[in-house]
């Protein structure tokens, strides 16, 4: 898959690196320094290169949107035409100092994003785990018991693309339903962040859902 990274920071830099190591063709874009994008591409050691958001978007089968909420408009403007593109977003609608959601309950960041780019196909994924756990999950990929990762979206084929990327990182994708379910997954992330950054166990936290009892 050709994956364009829009926002090459903690989430985009790590996920792009993992996607490249999993065999995808990755373009890192949108950082404050071109040197950083080149370094990420070099160190990913797969098929990866640095580019502009427009270059990242042009040929992409999937785009990862991984910028602060305040930068979404800017990066999308630079990306240009994203009609028909699968946009996997881990971006949360956080306020400037990252202490609270600015959209919740009656809508979600993912739904606002989908309204902003109505011709793209938005899937909300990866936003429910801290960046610090991603390489650890990838390294443990061969183990039988994988951590879960919830995702949601309104289009089945784009959700299949997201599920493939989720599996490639080492998670067990859990389809949570339509995009409006991001109203629940986005606040859930604040719980995960609390456990990651305020607890004693360190930020390398993932979660796993278990089912008990007979099926059907
Ligand atoms: N970090 C996490 O653990 C985590 C977990 C779940 C969800 N999220 C969400 O994921 C999204 C990305 O978070 P993150 O932690 O990866 O953010 P981040 O590390 O700040 O990365 C954002 C990227 O955008 C770039 N950027 C910011 N302003 C720019 C500008 N004016 N021009 C060009 N590039 C610019 C940054 O450049 P530089 O590289 O030069 O800084 C960086 O590459 C956010 O919406 C966040 O809420 C984060």
pLDDT digits (tens, 9 = 90+) for 4-49: 999 999 999 999 999 999 999 999 999 999 999 999 999 998 899 9
* Interior angle at CA 149, CA 60 and CA 71, nearest 5: 50
Q: Quick check: 44 and 17 in contact, CB under 8 A?
A: yes
- Estimate the share of the chain in helix, then strand, then coil, as percent rounded to the nearest 5: 40, 20, 40
* Whole-structure pTM value: 0.98
Residue 28 φ then ψ, to 5°: -85, 130
Q: Tokens in use for 210?
A: 């278990």
CB atoms within 10 A of CB 14: 21
Structure confidence at residue 216 (pLDDT): 53
Query: Average pLDDT of the chain?
Result: 97
Q: Give the whole-angstrom CA distance, residue 148 versus residue 213.
A: 19
Structure confidence at residue 199 (pLDDT): 84
Structure confidence at residue 83 (pLDDT): 97
Structure confidence at residue 143 (pLDDT): 87
Dump pLDDT digits (tens) for 50-68: 999 999 999 999 999 999 9
Q: Give the whole-angstrom CA distance, residue 182 versus residue 145.
A: 25
Question: Among residues 96, 104, 86, which one has the least CA distance to residue 182?
Answer: 104
Q: Tokens in use for 137?
A: 């999950």
Name the band, by pLDDT with cuts 50, 70 and 90, for residue 136.
very high
Name the band, by pLDDT with cuts 50, 70 and 90, for residue 170.
very high
SS3 9: coil
* Pocket of ligand 1 from Cβ distances under 6 Å: 7-12, 30-33, 36, 66-69, 71, 90-92, 94, 127, 130-131, 189
Q: Tokens in use for 138?
A: 């990838």
* Interior angle at CA 100, CA 94 and CA 106, nearest 5: 80
Q: Quick check: 77 and 116 in contact, CB under 8 A?
A: no
To test the pocket of ligand 1, the residue of 4, 32, 93 to mutate (highest count of ligand atoms within 8 Å of its CB) is 32
To test the pocket of ligand 1, the residue of 67, 76, 98, 186 to mutate (highest count of ligand atoms within 8 Å of its CB) is 67
Name the band, by pLDDT with cuts 50, 70 and 90, for residue 144.
confident
| Percent of the chain's residues with pLDDT above 90 | 95
Dump pLDDT digits (tens) for 59-97: 999 999 999 999 999 999 999 999 999 999 999 999 999
């Amino acid at each position: 898959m050709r994956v364009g990274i829009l926002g090459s920071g903690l989430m985009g830099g790590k996920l792009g690196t993992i996607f490249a190591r999993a065999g995808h063709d990755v373009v890192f874009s949108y950082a404050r320094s071109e040197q950083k994008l080149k370094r990420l591409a070099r160190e990913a050691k797969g098929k990866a290169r640095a580019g502009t958001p427009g270059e990242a978007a042009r040929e992409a089968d999937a785009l990862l949107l991984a910028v602060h909420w305040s930068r979404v408009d800017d990066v999308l403007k630079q990306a240009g035409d994203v009609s028909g593109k699968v946009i996997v977003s881990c971006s949360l609608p956080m306020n400037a100092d990252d202490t609270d959601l600015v959209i919740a309950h009656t809508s979600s960041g993912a739904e606002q994003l989908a309204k902003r780019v109505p011709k793209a196909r938005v899937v909300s994924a990866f936003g429910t785990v801290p960046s610090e756990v991603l390489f650890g999950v990838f390294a443990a990929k061969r183990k039988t018991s994988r951590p879960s990762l919830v995702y949601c979206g309104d289009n089945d084929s784009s959700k299949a693309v997201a599920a493939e990327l989720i599996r490639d990182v080492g998670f067990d994708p859990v389809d949570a339903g339509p995009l409006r379910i991001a109203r629940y997954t986005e606040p859930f992330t604040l719980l995960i962040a609390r456990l990651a950054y305020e607890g004693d166990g360190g930020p390398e936290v993932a979660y796993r859902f278990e089912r008990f009892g007979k099926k059907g």
